[in-house]
Amino acid sequence: MDNTNSSSTFSVSVLLLRILTLLFLLIALIIIAISEYTEITYFGTTKRKFDHVQAYRYMFSTIVVGFAYNLLQLAFSIFTMVSRKRALSGDGGYLFDFYGDKIMSYLLLSGSAAGFGFSAELLRVVPSNPFLEKANASAGLLLVGFIFNAIASIFTSFALPKKPN
């Protein structure tokens, strides 16, 4: 097999997966950030945002961290393609990709599952609540973002340097 060809297919696939992850995380971020509900208190009504629910606050954090990581990786990928050498040279770069993708995919999944865990149950009690539905949509988009990140993680696992065994 042609080394250069296979290696550039790998780079392009991972680059594409990063862009797709970023895209879905961005939409998930916008939806959760704009969602709000009205709380009726003794003193009148108050607008509340997602940060009043612990699960959604955690979900929001995972989206932000996952977005920052994938943006950094995208910058590295573009640098590699333009300069034709890896931003992180040696085995270190492959290990960074492997552990980075592994940890980030776990993080994104946990955010999505926490969001679903809360809203799935609440939507049974208060069905067709616009706030919960928006939060649920955001968790769904985050799940798609996770899937792309998890596929990137499979790629970067196969690119691991061999340990002596």
Instruction: Check residue 132 for interaction with its own copies (CB under 8 A).
Output: no
Stretch that binds its own copies, among 12-20, 38-46, 116-124, 126-134 (CB under 8 A): 116-124
Token representation of residue 138: 């955001």
Stretch that binds its own copies, among 17-25, 41-49, 71-79, 147-155 (CB under 8 A): 147-155
Identify the CA nearest to 86 among candidates 162, 149, 8.
8
Identify the CA nearest to 50 among candidates 125, 137, 147, 144.
137
Residue whose CB is less far from its own copies, 47 or 162: 162
Task: Tell me, residue by residue from 33 to 72, as one string, x for binding to its own copies by CB under 8 A and - for no binding.
Answer: --------------------xxx--x--------------
Instruction: Check residue 124 for interaction with its own copies (CB under 8 A).
Output: yes
Q: Which 1-40 residues touch its own copies, going by CB under 8 A?
A: 1, 3, 6-7, 10
Stretch that binds its own copies, among 12-20, 26-34, 64-72, 106-114 (CB under 8 A): 106-114
Q: Which residues have CB under 8 Å from 25's CB, separation 6+?
A: 63, 66, 67, 70, 108, 141, 142, 145
Min dist CB 123 to its own copies, Å, is 9
Token representation of residue 105: 């995919």
Token representation of residue 101: 């993708």
Task: Check: CB of residue 17 under 8 Å from CB of residue 148.
Answer: yes
Task: Check: CB of residue 10 under 8 Å from CB of residue 155.
Answer: yes
Q: Which residues have CB under 8 Å from 47's CB, separation 6+?
A: 36, 37, 38, 39
Residue whose CB is less far from its own copies, 66 or 111: 111
What residues line the site for its own copies (CB under 8 A)?
A: 1, 3, 6-7, 10, 53-55, 58, 98, 102, 105-106, 109-118, 120-121, 124, 150, 153-154, 157-160, 162-165
